[in-house]
Amino acid sequence: MQIVVDLNRCQGYAQCAFLAPQVFQLHGEEALTYAPAVPDDQLERVRGAATACPVQAILAGEQ
């Protein structure tokens, strides 16, 4: 699965980094980095993070 985070929309809520720390890392309050190609063992965590993000900044596409 490939993901894109809309970094203009991201407000640094950190739910993603909490739920899927192997994929999302927050550096400071709003500097988010992430791995766009999600390994299979992280799929459920990333889906949970996408649901939990208060501003729906995580866009997931099945690939």
- Least gap, CB of 35 to ligand F3S (angstroms): 13
User: Which chain residues interact with ligand F3S by CB under 6 A?
Assistant: 5, 10-16, 26, 32, 53, 55, 57-58
Phi, psi of 22 (to 5 degrees): -75, -15
The residue among 39 and 55 lying less far from ligand F3S, judged by its C-beta, is 55
User: Min. distance of Cβ 27 from ligand F3S in angstroms?
Assistant: 11
**Torsion 27-44-36-8 (CA) sign:** negative
User: Which residue, 8 or 63, is less far from ligand F3S as judged by CB?
Assistant: 8
Among residues 3, 27, 7, the alpha carbon closest in space to that of 17 is found at 27
